[in-house]
Each structure stands twice: as structure tokens, then as C-alpha cells.
Structure 1
């Protein structure tokens, strides 16, 4: 999940602004979650489509 749309329950500001200690801690935790944590769902779908197209091209060339 991306943190650009999350709203902090402590200060009611967007988490990505990091206005309070809770926001800063949540932002740091979300940034450390992994390789694809910062990608939007649309970007993940686009990467999947590119991967499938590459595999289809490779399969077509070997036949």
C-alpha cells in the first residue's frame, strides 16, 4: 500500500507529510516494507503486463 493517500488518526494530516511523530513512524515503517511497497497497484499491473508480453514473445520465438 502506498502511503500518499493515508491520513493519520493522530493529527488528521496526510501521513506522507510527517507532521507528527506517529506520521513519521508510520512513513518510516511503510518505506521499509519491501521492494514493491512504494508502487501503486496500476504500476504493478503494468509491470505484470510487460512481463507477460515478454514471456509471450520469447515463447513465440522458440517455436
Structure 2
């Protein structure tokens, strides 16, 4: 979703410009990225890394 065409109800300006605190908050909500500010790609890579490390530790425990 994009905020290019959204108009702020508080100042009647484009939300993308962030003219007032309401615009800036709305823009931040639309453009939030993942958990804790991380992009979904980074979160996915971290999950894959944790799974790979768990599999390696499981395999080394068997030998």
C-alpha cells in the first residue's frame, strides 16, 4: 500500500509530504516494515538461519 494518494483529514495536505503530526503518523503506519523495523526478507533469512543451526546441532549431536 502507498500513501501517495491519501489526503490528511487534519491539514488537507498529501500524507506523503508529512506536513503535520497526523500526516507523519499515518505515513509511518502505512510504511512500517516488519517486526522491530526489520524488513520481511531479513526476518525470513533469520528464521532460515535459526532452522539451519538447529538442524546442524541436531546432526552433530547424533555423531
Structure 1's consecutive aligned runs of 4 or more residues displaced over 2 angstroms after TM superposition are 23-28
- Secondary structure at the aligned position of 2:16 is classed as coil
The count of residues paired between Structure 1 and Structure 2 equals: 52
TM-score by length of 2: 0.57
TM-score by length of 1: 0.57
Gaps of at least 5 residues in structure 1 are: none
Gaps of at least 5 residues in structure 2 are: 9-13
Larger Rg: 2
Cα offset, 1:21, TM superposition: 1.6
Report what 1:25 is aligned to: 25
